[in-house]
Chain A
Amino acid sequence: GQQLNQSPQSMFIQEGEDVSMNCTSSSIFNTWLWYKQDPGEGPVLLIALYKAGELTSNGRLTAQFGITRKDSFLNISASIPSDVGIYFCAGQPNSGGSNYKLTFGKGTLLTVNP
């Protein structure tokens, strides 16, 4: 099946620092999504990307759909303590009839030290 490599697995940063994480795939994706999950809660959609090269912001968050359609990154600027959580990427493969299916990364655990 499809594989998404998400890195890094975890990050420990100081408040105010910028953060960058990315996902790569061996195959082409039509859609890239970024979610955040707080402990004991469901993933919340942060940013959705639908076109190669697309760059989208949501407050201090910026994400890009890679030109090759095989990767995406998420940046968080000026981190704050409430940014703590697990960040997941998800992609919709370009595979015809299976167009419902999202493939998920394993997540990046972000810890912000006040």
Chain B
Amino acid sequence: DADVTQTPRNRITKTGKRIMLECSQTKGHDRMYWYRQDPGLGLRLIYYSFDVKDINKGEISDGYSVSRQAQAKFSLSLESAIPNQTALYFCATSDTSYRETQYFGPGTRLLVL
């Protein structure tokens, strides 16, 4: 079984809709991250969480929100989806701070029409 899972793997939605992407991990890591990937722009950090009560904005948090429901679960919401949020979204986890090594989920491909 995969250590980091994401659901759904693919999603098509319409402009203005609220959607949620979910991430679960069995690695026992404290830290979780959400990234988006766009062609030519690489991976950009949206939000990150160091533990259940800790939420931090990344580079591009506008239009997104997150919830850390448990150590193993971190969800990303698009409050009102817009077409330029069409991208690949990845969840990642890591355990310690100094030797930062992140492990990624398989990704969610989102298309906003």
Q: How far is the CA of A107 from the CA of B38 in the complex (A)?
A: 12
- In the complex, the answer to whether B100 meets A102 with C-beta atoms within 8 Å is yes
How many residue pairs bridge A and B at CB < 8 Å?
56
* Binary per-residue interface labels of chain B (85-113) against chain A in the complex, 1 for a CB within 8 Å, 0 otherwise: 00000100010011111111111010000
A40-B109, A106-B42, A107-B42 given; A99·B97 CB < 8 A: yes
Of A1, A31, A44, which one neighbours B101 at CB under 8 angstroms?
A31
Central interface residue in A33, A43, A90, by most chain B CB within 10 Å: A43
Interface size on B, residues (CB 8 A): 25
Q: Does B50 contact A (CB under 8 A)?
A: yes
Q: Which residue of B lies closest to A41 (CB)?
A: B106
* Binary per-residue interface labels of chain A (12-56) against chain B in the complex, 1 for a CB within 8 Å, 0 otherwise: 000000000000000000110101000011111100101000000
Q: Which residue of A lies closest to B31 (CB)?
A: A100
Main secondary structure of the interface of A (DSSP, over half): loop
Of A31, A48, A101, which one neighbours B45 at CB under 8 angstroms?
A101
Q: How far is the CA of A101 from the CA of B6 in the complex (A)?
A: 21
Give residues in A with beta carbon < 8 Å to B: 1, 30-31, 33, 35, 40-45, 48, 50, 88, 90, 92, 99-102, 104-107
Can you spell out 24 A-B residue pairs with CB atoms less than 8 angstroms apart? A1-B59, A30-B98, A30-B100, A31-B100, A31-B101, A35-B104, A40-B107, A41-B106, A42-B6, A42-B90, A42-B104, A42-B106, A45-B101, A45-B104, A48-B99, A88-B43, A90-B102, A92-B100, A100-B94, A100-B97, A100-B100, A102-B100, A102-B102, A104-B43
8 other A-B residue contacts (CB within 8 Å) besides A35-B104, A100-B48, A106-B41: A30-B99, A42-B90, A42-B104, A43-B43, A100-B50, A101-B100, A106-B40, A107-B42
